Structure 1
């Protein structure tokens, strides 16, 4: 399989230039914005496209590199943050540039990977977050779905007090989430089928993006730290592993709730557990807080680690694919007419995937 020289995602997706409609696309015909933070997230996201379109001119000063395509009835523009750059400011800059070059984007997704905040072993499936699962931002009583946990006050005994609330994503996306949750109450998610499809059609992705195996999903007690200097947990004390009920299959479970965002990597089990208990955070990441007050988006994160000192990169490709598959599933569900109606609104809305 050929690979684009300028990137590391497959170039063998179908390109629409053999019909008039595809060749007549302009920047104004793209209404869904999709943002990733890492190249591996972009690889999974591009692979989920139903069709790939040729590139288009972009505004002077726009430093983004775009991939254009279609999912269902939606024309989608994808962008990734610059190599080696993460955080809320970089995400906001990428989204601002995207809106300049594609002025009719009103529907946004932030798709990628994040660190999970699992509860202690429980019979409640909502609390049973595992590696490879998907967490989707969802408003809570006192939050729009994303909490900037490095913006507030740290009080006595280390308790965090929130001093502001970020915006919610668009009403159309929130109703789409509700519809998809209801659908999943009757039928299984299509995430496993979407992942299987891209692995079947992209041979180069198979080894890296396949499920790592349930035996490699290990959750240590939050107060047990990884042994320094070791690249894996092979030498970590298994006495500190939490025993969880085995799952019947490798299918990702989708969780809805609060996502914690900050300009720092969460890599401390005790802090993760404290914020989970205090605020109900299900997942930690580093970009969404920079978007919500500028371009409110639906944040979709595949869980690649447990936000503690044991984190490594082995689950990142599969988790990125799971997040991208959920994004595809919700775009298939939301009618294109909803995007068209949003485009008439004076309030700009963006969908971001990371």
Structure 2
């Protein structure tokens, strides 16, 4: 196991949960001994590694916040458990908005308390490249391949059920949805391939707004990109309602990590220039 210095690392992969950290570790091609740091007040835990040995960047340029989130499906956006949502900007919005769900405006909307800066252009170009590969049958979509790069894939198979309940159907029972009947499910066509947000009514107030185009709710990214440029990537593990449980957590984390691995493969090192600090 070799060792590099602090200046050799270009991309920070940030994980808030243990299962997110474990999924990130599985995506590395190489691991390195950690360099000595001078910041004695830093309580973070680090694992040093590399994805794709032929790629080299001079120093840290941006961060990737990778983990899980709650999906916001609408009649026009068929978001499912296991999908991956990426913080791509739209119009005047930077890709991630911060809301205080304890505060309401007079017209009944949530109070928006801020938005995070847009990701660097080099990341947006990589996102578009992945999208083109995903819809073009002539180009390789390597996300399924990266999902398979796990030593014990049997422990991370796609869960059997993907249930989306009506907004007015409250969760019944304990940590699973075993006590929730099928009478509360929304009908959907089959498809073949801070504080946590867990209120379907609140979700459905924000999700249909065409100006916001909300795809996902999460709680860890607030404050990240205003201090450092980066991208937020979330695997959908629930529908941001009272029916959240752990059934889809591991698969959603792995799906997000697989997306990151492909993102790093399509990034062009020559376009990653030193950003202002």
TM-score w.r.t. length of structure 2:
0.91
| Corresponding position of 1:244 | 188
Could you tell me how far apart the structure 1 residues matched to 2:7 and 2:156 are?
33
**In the alignment, does 2:45 pair up with 1:65?**
yes
Match of 1:196 in 2: 148
Measured against aligned partners, the alpha-carbon deviations of 1:89-123 in whole angstroms (never above 9, x if no partner) come to xxxxxxxxxxxxxx931121110111101113x5x
Query: Aligned to 2:166, which of 221, 235, 241?
Result: 221
User: What corresponds to 1:351 in structure 2?
Assistant: none
Q: How do 1:38-77 and structure 2 match up within 5 A?
A: 38-59=17-38, 60-72=40-52, 73-74=54-55
Q: Identify the residue that residue 210 of structure 1 maps to in structure 2.
A: 157
In structure 2, what is the equivalent of residue 338 of structure 1?
271
Name the residue aligned to 1:273: 204
Deviation readout 1:123-164 (Å, 9 max, x if unpaired): xxxx11110110011101131000001189622242135354
CA deviations on 1:171-225 (whole Å, 9 max, x unpaired) are 1111211222222221353121111121xxx23xx34322112xx1100011211
Please show how residues 1-354 of structure 1 align to structure 2 within 5 Å.
16-17=1-2, 23=3, 25-59=4-38, 60-72=40-52, 73-74=54-55, 104-120=59-75, 122=76, 127-150=77-100, 154-162=104-112, 164-186=114-136, 187=139, 189-198=141-150, 202-203=151-152, 206-213=153-160, 216-227=161-172, 229-249=173-193, 263-278=194-209, 279-339=212-272, 342-343=273-274, 345=275, 347-348=276-277
- Determine the structure 2 residue equivalent to 1:97: none
Cα displacement string for residues 252-302 of structure 1 (whole angstroms, at most 9, x for unaligned residues): xxxxxxxxxxx0110100101111123321101111121121012111000
- Report how many aligned residue pairs link the two structures: 271
Q: For each residue in 1:217-265, what CA deviation from the matched residue of structure 2 results, as whole angstroms up to 9, or x when unmatched?
A: 10001121101x323222213112112121223xxxxxxxxxxxxx011
What is the RMSD of the two structures over their aligned residues, measured on CA atoms? 2.1
Partner SS for 2:145: helix
- Structure 1: 5+ residue stretches without partners: 1-15, 18-22, 77-102, 250-262, 349-354
Conserved? CA contact 2:171–2:177, under 8 Å: yes
- Contact conserved, 2:98 with 2:113, CA < 8 A, in 1? no
8 A contact 1:152–1:162 mirrored in 2: no
Q: Distance in 2 between matches of 1:163 and 1:289?
A: 10
- Separation (CA, whole Å) in 2 of partners of 1:74 and 1:286: 32
Contact between 1:114 and 1:303, CA under 8 Å: does it hold in 2? yes
